[in-house]
Structure 1
Amino acid sequence: MGEVASLNDESTAQGGFGFSRRSLLMGCALLATGGVARARMPQRRYPYISKAQLEAMLPKLFRGWHAADSGALIMPPQDELSKKLYEHIVTRVYSNDAGEAVMFLVAYNSRQIDEVQVHRPEVCYRVAGFDILSSTPTNVAIPGGPQVASRVVEAQSMQRKENILYWTRVGKKYPLNWGEQRIAMLEDNVAGYYPDGVLVRMSSIQPRIEDALPKLKRFANDLWASTTPAGRRIIFQG
């Protein structure tokens, strides 16, 4: 009885609401933990940009290449996840006086969050009915710029064969697979911010990948040399 009375007296001493000193201490600790967790939540690193701003960063005429907008390119799968993945998608077909053509796509999101990851062309092309014949790592060496870890993909449908050069950038990293993408996101989250993310894809309809790849890498270098600093940050550097 004496022990019960002591507990009741302690509760009354805390204001008559039935809270013990132990409960109050635990509550304060939980509030402090929640405040620290909130303070450590990642913050947006880059501001939102409009589609018009993104389009303006991508030159339509450079080094003999000229562009037209195109709705005929293979697009990322249209689902609820895609709406989170990409704020804007810009598609163009570039051609030159030599009769060469490059299909070009940039899909951008200023903030990569949670389990959201950039779609890879291997997924998009399969959804569109293509068989993936090969997917191998390569490197795009930009003179005076970054060394961009990329992938080269051969995709075949009943109508055509498409040779694809692409990279994904998450923050300042160029992940080559799903696992590396997730790690890049987590590293930036731990550092205190949400990274942006972009898929840059260029492709050519040619029978031989050996013929297409040098042209696609040359196109990437021409694009770097002709793009504004803001456009380079989005497409290449992070």
Structure 2
Amino acid sequence: MNRTLRLSLVAGVLMVSSAVLAKIMTPTERLAQVRAPLVLDTAIPTSFGDWIEEKDLTAQVINPETADALAKIYTQTLSRNYVNRDGERIMLSIAYGEDQTSGLQLHYPEVCYPAQGFNLASATKGTLTTHQGVLRVKRLQTSLGSRNEPVTYWTTMADKVVLGGYDTKFAQLSYGLRGQIPDGLIFRVSSISNDPQQAFKVQDDFVRQIADALPVQSRSRFIGTPGQQ
């Protein structure tokens, strides 16, 4: 067998092997279809702890993503305003997607806000202690004209909190190796305030109380599983 023929055979074997491996590693099981349906409007309570929904202020919630992006990437979205007994207000925005593969994965606020004209003054990672465990979050300071909007958010992929970059890629690979296509969501709380540190404290209080009020059977899909953050 001459050298050219051997090289051709080796190349052919490698091509077939790559095709077979790609087929084997292509996830096919959608977790959204094998788990209980997630309905944001009913899973998220309208009142809990010190907080109650303030329906007449819904228009104040600004979504930094375009309508086209929302329709393409997300299966459901939810936006609400809440007020507590002290008159402090929180804007809640949740977007859920059934397919967290590379082309359809969640869009992160530090990208979406500037794309819609907001100034992004800072974006830092942090933690938020809840009764269910320590939640990894991101803190943003954004503004649009005179509107100063501190933001706290995190994203989940199935039952894991992921914060973008290698964190998200590793989770995708982990599920993919098991043949699974994870669902996921972005959970964002924000408020209008010129005092970001005070705003973050109020947001933390809101998150702790809403985490306690989430349905037990779906709580991990919103805040991840303690110990697997």
Q: Considering the TM-score relative to the shorter chain, is it more than 0.5?
A: yes
Q: Which residue of 104, 114, 122 corresponds with 2:102?
A: 114
Give the Å deviation of 1:76.
4.3
Q: Does 1:77 align with 2:65?
A: yes
CA, structure 1 residues 34+126, in 2 after alignment: closer, same or farther (shift >3 Å)? Answer: closer
CA distance in 2 between counterparts of 1:49 and 1:72 reads 32
Figure out how many residues of one structure are paired with residues of the other and give that number: 210
Give the Å deviation of 1:36.
6.9
Please tell me whether the aligned partners of residues 148 and 194 of structure 2 are also in contact (alpha carbons under 8 angstroms). yes
Give the Å deviation of 1:34.
6.3
Give me the CA root mean square deviation. 2.7
Give the Å deviation of 1:216.
0.6
Q: Tell me the equivalent position of 1:157.
A: 144
Give the Å deviation of 1:231.
3.9
Please tell me whether the aligned partners of residues 140 and 147 of structure 1 are also in contact (alpha carbons under 8 angstroms). yes
What is the identity percentage for the equivalent residue pairs of Structure 1 and Structure 2?
24
Farther-moved stretch of structure 1 (174-183 vs 193-202): 174-183
Q: Which residue of 220, 223, 228 corresponds with 2:207?
A: 220
Q: Tell me the equivalent position of 1:183.
A: 170
CA distance in 1 between counterparts of 2:36 and 2:65 reads 22
Give the Å deviation of 1:124.
2.2
Q: Tell me the equivalent position of 1:7.
A: none
CA distance in 2 between counterparts of 1:74 and 1:206 reads 15
**2:174 partner amino acid:** E
CA distance in 1 between counterparts of 2:164 and 2:18 reads 35
Give the Å deviation of 1:203.
0.6
Q: Does 1:41 align with 2:26?
A: yes
Q: Tell me the equivalent position of 1:126.
A: 114
Task: Spell out, residue by residue over 1:140-193, the C-alpha distance to the aligned partner (whole angstroms, 9 max, x if none).
Answer: 1111x1321111110012131011110011233322233322222122111221
Please tell me whether the aligned partners of residues 150 and 192 of structure 2 are also in contact (alpha carbons under 8 angstroms). yes
Q: Tell me the equivalent position of 2:193.
A: 206
**1:118 partner amino acid:** L
Q: TM-score, normalised by structure 1?
A: 0.77
Please tell me whether the aligned partners of residues 74 and 125 of structure 1 are also in contact (alpha carbons under 8 angstroms). no
Give the Å deviation of 1:49.
7.3
Farther-moved stretch of structure 1 (36-45 vs 223-232): 36-45
What SS class does the counterpart of residue 95 from structure 1 fall into? strand
Q: Does 1:137 align with 2:125?
A: yes
- Structure 2 gaps, min length 5: 1-11
Give the Å deviation of 1:236.
0.9
Farther-moved stretch of structure 1 (76-85 vs 96-105): 76-85
Please tell me whether the aligned partners of residues 159 and 221 of structure 2 are also in contact (alpha carbons under 8 angstroms). no
CA distance in 2 between counterparts of 1:189 and 1:146 reads 27
Give the Å deviation of 1:79.
6.2
Q: Which runs of 4+ in 1 moved over 6 A?
A: 32-36, 48-51
What SS class does the counterpart of residue 217 from structure 2 fall into? helix
CA distance in 2 between counterparts of 1:78 and 1:178 reads 22
What SS class does the counterpart of residue 98 from structure 1 fall into? coil
CA distance in 2 between counterparts of 1:93 and 1:65 reads 10
CA, structure 1 residues 72+178, in 2 after alignment: closer, same or farther (shift >3 Å)? Answer: farther
**1:214 partner amino acid:** K
Q: Does 1:57 align with 2:43?
A: yes
CA distance in 2 between counterparts of 1:101 and 1:193 reads 39
**1:41 partner amino acid:** T
Give the Å deviation of 1:214.
1.2
From the CA coordinates, give the structure whose radius of gyration is larger.
Answer: 1
Q: TM-score, normalised by structure 2?
A: 0.80
